[in-house]
Amino acid sequence: MGSGWPFAARTAAYVGGWAAVTAAAAAVVWVGLGPVLATAVPEPVPLRVEALPPPAPVATPSRPVPTVGPAPVPSASPVAPDPLTSPTRPRTSPSPAARPQPSPAMTVDGWQVFTESDGSRSYLRSFPTAGGTAVIRMAHERVYLVSATPRGDYQLATSQPDPERVVVQFHRASDQIVVDAIWWEGRPFSQVTNVE
């Protein structure tokens, strides 16, 4: 009729075997996907808060804010309010705050130009291509890859042969798109090439 094992022991053996196989499968997936996920995450790029545009101004309230004053002291003889008049509050309009308007970012050859806290300039540019989008930053004569995201069936390869240069390649079997950014003669230079 049975296998000779009590029902509870068989159930425990099945659950234990299932747990062991599941743990082994999770470990294999973890080890197998580790290198793939490590190549998908770009290296951290040091960003400066000063290079970001200032936040948008906050809207001022359109109605006056009520203020709380001292409570009135009751008098000996109560006075009935005049039924024809209503209590009025002095209306005040909020004074316009002197807020500096953010200046539009200057653009040079497609690069957004920002002024750093030390007075130097930094450059930021997005390169949207058929193979994906790369965002590159240049500051202090160095080039940094901010992000690179492949599109569709394109694969991503990045390299930085020098501190002054970054090369991003979006490639697949039929073609390759290369974004090459370099600090050259005191200014940013970039080239996007489609190799078929």
Instruction: Give the pLDDT confidence score for residue 27 in this predicted structure.
Output: 85
Give the pLDDT means over successive 10-residue stretches in the chain (196 positions). 74 90 87 69 54 52 49 53 54 51 70 88 94 94 94 94 95 94 92 92
Instruction: Give the pLDDT confidence score for residue 160 in this predicted structure.
Output: 94
Domain ranges of the chain: 42-51+102-195
For the full predicted model, state whether its pTM sits above 0.75: no
List the structure tokens of 128: 């949207």
Instruction: Give the pLDDT confidence score for residue 65 in this predicted structure.
Output: 47
Q: Residue 8: what residue type? A: A
List the structure tokens of 111: 């690069």
Please, what sign has the CA dihedral across residues 8, 12, 18, 21? negative
Q: Residue 132: what residue type? A: G
